[in-house]
Amino acid sequence: MAGRTRLPDNIVVYARPNCAACEQVIRYLANRSLHFRVLDVERDADAQADLNAAGYTEDDLPVTFLDDAAVVGFDANRLDAYLVHITI
């Protein structure tokens, strides 16, 4: 029996306006027709607090959480590792 691809259940991108890497991550996920949430840390104080509580700052943006894993910046290889190559 071949393995089935298992996508993360919860994808959240912490981003801010005018962030080129943030836009790259958002386009990358959207082009794959994935369901994800974008939280703007400049407009949402709770999102900023959650990001800080997880050990990240605005200097790390974008930070993409895929279930419990985090990818800092736009790193297509790491995103692919979580989105394409995970099998069950």
**DSSP string spanning 27-68?**
HHHHHTT---EEEETTT-HHHHHHHHHTT--GGG--EEEETT
Q: Which DSSP category does 87 fall into?
A: B
Domain ranges of the chain: 11-81
Q: What are the pLDDT digits (tens) for 34-83?
A: 889 999 999 999 999 999 999 999 999 999 998 888 999 999 999 988 87
Per-residue pLDDT at 14: 97
Report pLDDT for 86. Answer: 46
CATH number of 11-81: 3.40.30.10
Place of tokens 């790259």: 24
Residues 6 or more apart in contact with residue 41 via CB below 8 angstroms: 14, 15, 16, 47, 48, 51, 58, 61
